Amino acid sequence: MKIDVLLGLQWGDEGKGKIVDVLAPQYPVVARFQGGPNAGHSLQFGDQKFILHTIPSGIFHNGVVNVIGNGVVIDPLILAQEVKALEQMKVPVTERLYIAKKAHLILPTHRIIDAATEAAKGAEKIGSTLKGIGPAYMDKTGRNGLRVGDILLPSFLDKYQKLRKKHVEFLRQFDFSYSIEEHEEQWLKEIENLKQYNIVDGEFFINGYIESSKKVLAEGAQGALLDIDFGSYPFVTSSTTTCAGACTGLGVPPSKIGKVYGIFKAYCTRVGSGPFPTELHDETGEEIRQLGREFGATTGRPRRTGWLDLVALKYSIMINGVSELIMMKADVLDTFDQIKVAVAYKIGKTEHKQFPYEIQTEQIEPVFKEFKGWKRNLSSIVNEDELPFELMNYVRFIEKETGVPVTVISLGPDRAQTIMRQR
């Protein structure tokens, strides 16, 4: 059996949480492979709404094993808050959740370093979620990090103090006031609590399921355009958000990757700083933000909005080897007379179809193709054959341009508002 991967093709917040929750009944195992509490994955069923940060989006399903893989960075404080909220909804989290020993920990000082380095960047700040993601991955690659497996060792507190001391030394260079003690005591308590979970050798655990022919779904966080290598560097996150990250973040060989679901919005959003060629700074942009409720699930910040960008989308599809596309939030465009899609970038006098090395938004003029809007409320449509011609025209154009079928169309935040296309 192979492992299927679902990942975002834009700058995050494509709707990964919703679709993982929809697909989870087909997958006995759902596993997060990178990122951490910078992610905010929203799920909705009936009047129940939930935002997950570290826990995989299969957690609401009975019989689904949810794994936090080695590629994830965990803040035990945030994890504890998530668990508490889920338990209030009577979800048996400890039964369903498994945590890889090799996942790294986010320390209170990582969050402080994140805040201090962002503040020092001034106008050039990344717009980080300030959850300590960058500093935690720096310690991982710098070979200083603490891992979940370490909490079981008698030397854990010594290791913690050693790293904390390094961080305090590092923080001396910043003119930044902070208090480690504010969260430290609780953090150490939550480290103790972490021991009650199923802590496993993640790579053996996942490969065991693959060997026994159980379907595994790998759930990405962020999006391809925030990838540490291929995203709009330096305005990126610090992990491999692309398909390769599922291999390193779970311990799965490339030959075991099956389907790659690439998820995108019918338009584009971005939260935080960095280039965004099709961004709208006008009323249309504001309309998309309001209709799409485009405010961050983790930080509440307004998301920047713009038209769909096929130059960027094709790039993400190439890097990830996407085999199926999932289009989200088509309903947000219900009232628009016209819908635009960027098919090329004009830089100077030349049109480019290849995503450039450096994206300088001021120098890029997107070349748009316009589509007639469907001007119909899509939110209650349940059958594919009821979808308006204009929407299908839009979908078919995307399929033709990318060469990848759109197999799922999402028409609202609820689980039920999902059209699985017949092929």
Residues within the interface to ligand IMO (CB under 6 A) = 8, 11-13, 35, 38-41, 126-129, 131, 133-134, 221-223, 226, 237, 271-272, 297
- 297 lies in the site for Mg ion, by CB under 5 A: yes
**Helix (H) and strand (E) counts in the chain:** 12, 20
**Residue 44 contact partner, candidates ligand IMO, Mg ion, ligand GDP, none, CB within 5 to 8 A by sort of partner:** ligand GDP
The smaller minimum CB distance to ligand IMO, of residues 198 and 248, is found at 248
- CA torsion angle 15 18 19 24 (round to 10): 150
Q: Which position among 41, 53, 104, 167 bears the catalytic label?
A: 41
Q: How far is the CB of 297 from ligand GDP (least distance, A)?
A: 4
DSSP 379: T
331 a catalytic residue: no
First vs last Cα of the chain: how many Å apart? Answer: 22
The sign of the CA dihedral 227, 204, 75, 137 is negative
**Residues in contact with ligand GDP by the rule CB under 6 A:** 8, 12-18, 39-42, 44, 292-293, 297, 328-329, 331-332, 410-413
Q: Which position among 13, 227, 309, 331 bears the catalytic label?
A: 13
The smaller minimum CB distance to ligand GDP, of residues 133 and 191, is found at 133
**Residue 240 contact partner, candidates Mg ion, ligand GDP, ligand IMO, none, CB within 5 to 8 A by sort of partner:** none
Residues in the chain: 423
Q: How far is the CB of 392 from ligand IMO (least distance, A)?
A: 27
User: In terms of Cα–Cα distance, which of 246, 207, 221, 314 is closest to 5?
Assistant: 246
The smaller minimum CB distance to ligand IMO, of residues 102 and 131, is found at 131
Angle between helix 181-194 and helix 76-88 axes, rounded to 10 deg:
60
**Residue 129 contact partner, candidates Mg ion, ligand GDP, ligand IMO, none, CB within 5 to 8 A by sort of partner:** ligand IMO
Please tell me the distance from the alpha carbon of residue 50 to that of residue 44, in angstroms, as a whole number: 6
- 40 lies in the site for Mg ion, by CB under 5 A: yes
CB neighbours of residue 72 within 10 Å: 28
φ, ψ (nearest 5 deg) of residue 320: -100, -10
- 344 lies in the site for Mg ion, by CB under 5 A: no
**Residue 328 contact partner, candidates Mg ion, ligand IMO, ligand GDP, none, CB within 5 to 8 A by sort of partner:** ligand GDP
The smaller minimum CB distance to Mg ion, of residues 15 and 108, is found at 15
Q: How far is the CB of 17 from ligand GDP (least distance, A)?
A: 3
φ, ψ (nearest 5 deg) of residue 167: -65, -40
Q: 295 to each of 36, 267, 291, 333, 414, how far by Cα in Å? A: 19, 15, 11, 17, 17
The smaller minimum CB distance to ligand GDP, of residues 44 and 128, is found at 44
- Residues 196 and 94: beta-carbon distance below 8 Å: yes
Structure tokens at 205: 């655990």
Q: 275 to each of 31, 133, 304, 311, 341, how far by Cα in Å? A: 30, 21, 11, 14, 17
Q: Is 242 helix (H, G, I), strand (E, B) or coil?
A: coil
13 a catalytic residue: yes
Q: How far is the CB of 64 from ligand IMO (least distance, A)?
A: 19
Please tell me the distance from the alpha carbon of residue 176 to that of residue 157, in angstroms, as a whole number: 26
**Residue 332 contact partner, candidates ligand IMO, ligand GDP, Mg ion, none, CB within 5 to 8 A by sort of partner:** ligand GDP
**Residue 331 contact partner, candidates ligand IMO, Mg ion, ligand GDP, none, CB within 5 to 8 A by sort of partner:** ligand GDP
Contacts with Mg ion, residue ranges (CB under 5 A): 13, 40, 297
Catalytic residues: 13, 41
